[in-house]
Amino acid sequence: MAKTLYEILLGLASILRVPSRMFARAVRNQDSNLLVLLYHDVTKRQFESHMRFLERYFEFIDLDELVRMIDSGEFPSDLTVAITFDDGLQSFYYNALPIVDEMGVPVANYVTSGIVDSMFYLDKQDDRTMLWKELKSNDRSWTTERSCDDTRKAGLEVMLGITLEELKDVDRNRHITVGAHAVTHSILPELSYEACKREIFESRAHLERMLGHPVRHFAYPYGLHTDREMALVREAGFVSAAAVYDQWISRDSAVFSFPRKGTGPSGSSISWLEYRMGK
């Protein structure tokens, strides 16, 4: 491991008051300088502070460059990061997009095609499973503060899908690559073969109809997949598929199952550095 990288991480440790042994462990564990981060719902302040922090230490790359690196095994010598968002939430449009524009950060935005123009809540069934349930599709008059508050009081998290017009605007942005993330955000390995195939193929067709150009990248809902899903994603014509593992990209990473590290809930600090790295 290059001494310079170790020194950089030690520097981070002191700035963040994170125990340096955590960073030393992270340096030992990672196989490359290449990291992919996964965001869902962000606040403006959170996303900007993360990006400002990252730009001091990392090079940003877009999804196509990331896939090329994984495919070729030509890993960068400097710390490098790709930023990805899942689900297609409206908060991306209002909270992340202005920062993306201002800083010119390349971002991949994987959109669940069925939530465009919709409103959902997350029903946390157990530790592993979160089910998306539609509240009231295509009627944003429901989105009053009061109704959202009532839903939140019931312990449910209201999620707004991006509107079609906002999605088109996002897609026109030169820093952003739009990818697919299934139609209904189902747990793909639990579906029948036919239902699984529909989720993968139709999400691509659905987004391509909305955007008017090929959609080439896919992300598995919850990161969950087996060989069957990988084969179907390939068959559908996608050139890559993103998973979720608490890992940096390594020599073992596959283009159709590459790891992304989660960044914590909306509004969180750069806690991923504290509790994700080195574990």
**Quick one: which segment of 87-95, 169-177, 226-234, 253-261 binds Zn ion (CB under 5 A)?**
87-95
Torsion of CA 85, 87, 92, 96, to 10 degrees: -10
The span from the CA of 169 to the CA of 162, in Å, is: 11
At its nearest, how many Å lie between Zn ion and the CB of residue 221? 5
CA distances from 210 to 58, 185, 214, 215, 259 (A): 34, 18, 10, 10, 28
Site residues (CB under 5 A) for Zn ion, limited to 214-273: 221
Strands (DSSP E) along the chain, which ranges? Answer: 34-39, 59-60, 80-87, 107-111, 119-124, 130-134, 157-160, 176-180, 217-219, 240-242, 261-262
Q: Is 214 exposed, middle or buried (0-12, 13-18, 19+ CB in 10 A)?
A: exposed
CB burial readout 235-263, b (16+ within 10 A) else e: ebebbbbbbbbebbbbeebebbbbbbbbb
**Nearer of residues 33 and 199 to Zn ion, judged by Cβ:** 199
**Quick one: which segment of 29-37, 71-79, 153-161, 213-221 binds Zn ion (CB under 5 A)?**
213-221
At its nearest, how many Å lie between Zn ion and the CB of residue 88? 9
Q: Is 199 in the site for Zn ion (CB under 5 A)?
A: no
The span from the CA of 179 to the CA of 215, in Å, is: 6
Residue selected from 62, 86, 117, 166 as contacting Zn ion according to rule CB under 5 A: 86
Q: Is 41 in the site for Zn ion (CB under 5 A)?
A: no
Give residue number: closest CB to Zn ion: 86
At its nearest, how many Å lie between Zn ion and the CB of residue 72? 28
At its nearest, how many Å lie between Zn ion and the CB of residue 232? 17
At its nearest, how many Å lie between Zn ion and the CB of residue 113? 12
Q: Is 87 in the site for Zn ion (CB under 5 A)?
A: yes
**Nearer of residues 41 and 86 to Zn ion, judged by Cβ:** 86
The span from the CA of 50 to the CA of 107, in Å, is: 13
**Nearer of residues 18 and 89 to Zn ion, judged by Cβ:** 89
**Nearer of residues 58 and 218 to Zn ion, judged by Cβ:** 218
Q: Which two tokens stand for residue 38?
A: 């996964």
Q: Please, where are the H alpha helices in 30-93?
A: 44-57, 63-72, 90-91
At its nearest, how many Å lie between Zn ion and the CB of residue 268? 17
**Nearer of residues 24 and 156 to Zn ion, judged by Cβ:** 156
At its nearest, how many Å lie between Zn ion and the CB of residue 129? 12
Catalog residues that contact Zn ion under the rule CB under 5 A: 86-87, 221
